Amino acid sequence: MRITDLINKKSVNLNLQKQNKLEAIDNLVELVNNSGNLNNKEEYKRAIIARENMSTTGIGEGVAIPHAKTKSVNSACLAAAVCKDGIDYESFDGSLANLFFMIAAPDGANDTHLEVLSRLSTILMDEDFRKNLMNSKSIDEFIKLIDKKENEKFPQEETTTQISSISTSSSNYPKVLAVTACPTGIAHTFMAAESLNKMGEKKGISIKVETNGSSGAKNILTKDEIENADCIIVAADKKVEMSRFNGKKVIITKVANGIHKAEELIDKASKGDAPVYNHSGGSSSSEESSEDETAFRKIYKHLMNGVSNMLPFVVSGGILIALAFLFDDYSINPKNFGSNLPLPAFLKGIGDYAFGFMLPVLAGYIAYSIADRPAMVVGFVGGIIAKESGSGFLGALIAGFIAGYIVVGLKKLFSKLPQSLDGIKPVLLFPLFGTLLIGIVMTFVVIPPVTAINNAMVAFLNGLGGSSKVVLGLVLGAMMAIDMGGPINKAAYVFGVASLDAGQFEIMAAVMAGGMVPPLAIALATTFFKNRFTKEQRESGKVNYVMGLSFITEGAIPFAAADPLKVIPACVVGSATAGALSMVFGAALRAPHGGIFVVPVVSNPLGYLAAIIIGSVVGMLLLAVLKKPLEKEA
């Protein structure tokens, strides 16, 4: 089987019009469908989009290779298109895509077609070949160019996906080894392999590349080759077997760098400019460490692992709580608003349960990112301690990092134990001693200063009570946004609730207005300044409309955690503005919760809404100024 065997002339368009990415996908799916090889076009399209959500298939250099392997495909086929004006396909190098190949692979079938498709990825690394394809005058010419190039590159049809070592050195073994792998193993895996091989050949450095493709690992590195290699490059976005590289110099990076930074990787590997890899035995992931990551990047990656796993709990719990306020009757019992009627009480109860997992999950998955599965239980315990002690988001964040590094330390400590005890380390020793240590550290080291900060904030607010109400509203509004559910936020909220007994209802109004602004400001920013945010953030931003209107400040936490130096100041200024204006307009509120749903019981409701809207817009505009348009991933 050859590449051209998979192309139907009805599936080629040499004049694709300029459009956005989703429209391009629609057109390409239609081209695939023209071949008659799909049994469910919509299911195939969903599979294509799901692959794009993992990482873009815009590989750069003007090429995009969207692909999917699914049961909606009857037999393997290929669609191709050329867009002279280029389409923004979110490519790795930020370039517009002009040349498109959409791959359709059947699920559970013989994988011979995947080996053929890997050749396509390989030959597209040739710049002259790409230019010739784009300048094709007819579909017949387009297909002939592919056939000719395939004959040149793979003349004997032998082990087409196996990238052989380059015999350019006198050694019997390659000087540099590499492993490439991407989540689906169809395109990027083989393009990275080809790029590394070409660069090795150009520099006269012997190299052998193992490809972990969809049809399995090919050109597998042998034990002798690993022992004699100077360095190993692992360019992978999924787990590969790493234990075999224990004690060798290893460069660990993403598969995109194998394509676009091949020269840099080859130079480092040939010089042995890489750390010695020490396998812990706990994972086979290529993501355990990375030579080219800064300390800040590693911390950021651990934090994002916690935030991304926490987000579903925030979203689901927040929406359920919002629905509880929507369906409840405030007049029955204002202090129990949200739980007065059976249905709202049921919804709020489930929402509270979901929200209750937020901090333990945050801490647990930060710890997991640092020290793998044995650290998860330690992180969860640290997170629940932070939740129950009132140290909030900040306490859970600290607990996650402490838990992870506690387990890292325990791994080193217990590495001296007999090998026969390896089996009980992850199920007994790490959880037992880790849980004990995180409990001690949280109780005696973390919680006391956080509690002291909390108490100091309350005392400060009480002392400020005789000052201007506008200043008080400004300060309370700002405090609601500083740590978004943490001790400072809670101090302002408790002060607002306590003011209800004293009959100072304006304070509660300012507090709630300040707490509503952060998620609303972020939601507005993701709507009106889309180029400042990733696609995932833009989607999450929509949920923040509901969060903000429901007085759920925590909806802003994922954005604040991802970019605190820009998001937090913008939210603080917006919230301070809302709190101050609420005081200026004389808004007063008797309910301690409810967000937009209690506006009817606010004195001067129009002024109150104006304060929230103005504060949100101020936060949005400042965030747009602080956050620059995103650069495309290199």
Residue 504 has pLDDT above 90, yes or no: no
The average pLDDT across 548-571 equals 85
Closest CA to 90 of 20, 28, 31, 32: 20
SS3 category, 152: helix
CATH of 3-153, one of 3.20.10.10, 3.40.930.10, 1.10.3720.10, 3.40.50.720: 3.40.930.10
Alpha carbon distance 280, 292 (integer Å): 20
Q: What is the pLDDT of residues 208-238, one digit of tens each?
A: 999 887 666 788 899 889 988 989 999 887 6
Query: Rounded to the nearest 5 degrees, what angle is found at the Cα of 419, between the Cα atoms of 424 and 369?
Result: 55
- Return left, alpha or beta for 564; rule: phi > 0 is left, psi -120 to 50 is alpha, else beta: alpha
Domain ranges for the chain = 3-153, 176-271
Closest CA to 56 of 116, 96, 86, 17: 96
Enumerate long-range contacts of 28-33, CB under 8 Å, 24 or more apart: 28/66, 28/79, 28/81, 28/100, 28/102, 29/102, 31/79, 31/80, 31/81, 31/102, 32/77, 32/79, 32/102, 32/104
The average pLDDT across 322-334 equals 80
pLDDT attached to residue 234: 92
Q: What is the pLDDT of residues 165-174, one digit of tens each?
A: 444 444 578 8
Burial grade of 30 (CB within 10 A; 0-12, 13-18, 19 or more): middle
Please state the length of the chain.
634
Contacts for 373 with CB less than 8 Å, ≥ 6 apart? 282, 283, 426
Q: Are 488 and 568 in contact (CB under 8 A)?
A: no
> Which residue spans within 165-270 are E strands per DSSP?
176-181, 207-213, 216-218, 231-236, 250-253
The average pLDDT across 278-304 equals 58
Q: What is the pLDDT of residues 87-146, one digit of tens each?
A: 988 876 678 889 999 988 887 645 545 666 677 777 887 888 888 999 999 999 999 999
Confidence of residue 597 (pLDDT cuts 50, 70, 90): confident
Confidence of residue 290 (pLDDT cuts 50, 70, 90): very low
pTM above 0.75, yes or no: no
Q: Percent of the chain at pLDDT above 90?
A: 32
The average pLDDT across 3-32 equals 90
Least confident of 88-92, 310-314, 348-352: 310-314
Catalytically active residues, by annotation? 67, 182
Highest mean pLDDT of the ranges 69-78, 288-297, 459-468, 484-493: 69-78
Residue 164 has pLDDT above 70, yes or no: no
Residue 495 has pLDDT above 80, yes or no: no
Residue 391 has pLDDT above 60, yes or no: yes
Q: Percent of the chain at pLDDT above 70?
A: 83
pLDDT attached to residue 32: 93
Positive or negative: CA dihedral 580, 582, 585, 589:
negative
13 phi/psi in degrees, rounded to 5: -130, 115
Residue 9 has pLDDT above 80, yes or no: yes
Alpha carbon distance 129, 516 (integer Å): 56
Residue 434 has pLDDT above 90, yes or no: yes
Q: What is the pLDDT of residues 533-551, one digit of tens each?
A: 888 788 878 888 988 888 8
Confidence of residue 158 (pLDDT cuts 50, 70, 90): very low
Q: Hey, how many other C-beta atoms are within 10 angstroms of the C-beta on 54?
A: 12
Closest CA to 631 of 119, 94, 122: 94
Residue 307 has pLDDT above 80, yes or no: no
Tell me the sheet residues that pair with 208: 177
Alpha carbon distance 338, 594 (integer Å): 8
Tell me the sheet residues that pair with 70: 106
Alpha carbon distance 262, 271 (integer Å): 14
The better pLDDT of the pair 164, 189 is held by 189
Least confident of 8-12, 299-303, 593-597: 299-303
The better pLDDT of the pair 620, 471 is held by 620
pLDDT attached to residue 342: 93
Q: Hey, how many other C-beta atoms are within 10 angstroms of the C-beta on 147?
A: 15
pLDDT attached to residue 315: 61
- Return left, alpha or beta for 159; rule: phi > 0 is left, psi -120 to 50 is alpha, else beta: left
pLDDT attached to residue 286: 44
pLDDT attached to residue 526: 93
Least confident of 65-69, 287-291, 305-309, 321-325: 287-291
* Superfamily of the domain at 176-271: Response regulator (3.40.50.2300)
Enumerate the H helices of 372-429 as residue ranges: 376-389, 392-414
Mean pLDDT over all residues of the chain? Answer: 82
- DSSP 8-class letter at 35: T
The average pLDDT across 22-34 equals 92
Confidence of residue 194 (pLDDT cuts 50, 70, 90): confident
Positive or negative: CA dihedral 380, 386, 390, 392:
negative
pLDDT attached to residue 468: 67
Residue 62 has pLDDT above 70, yes or no: yes
Alpha carbon distance 498, 504 (integer Å): 9
Q: What is the pLDDT of residues 511-536, one digit of tens each?
A: 999 999 999 999 999 999 998 888 87
Residue 632 has pLDDT above 70, yes or no: no
Alpha carbon distance 62, 60 (integer Å): 5
Alpha carbon distance 267, 480 (integer Å): 51
pLDDT attached to residue 166: 41
Residue 573 has pLDDT above 60, yes or no: yes
DSSP string across 536-571: HHHHHHHHHHHHHHTT-GGGGHHHHHHSHHHHHHHH
Residue 278 has pLDDT above 50, yes or no: yes
Confidence of residue 450 (pLDDT cuts 50, 70, 90): confident
Q: Which amino acid is at 19?
A: Q
Residue 358 has pLDDT above 70, yes or no: yes
pLDDT attached to residue 574: 96
pLDDT attached to residue 522: 94
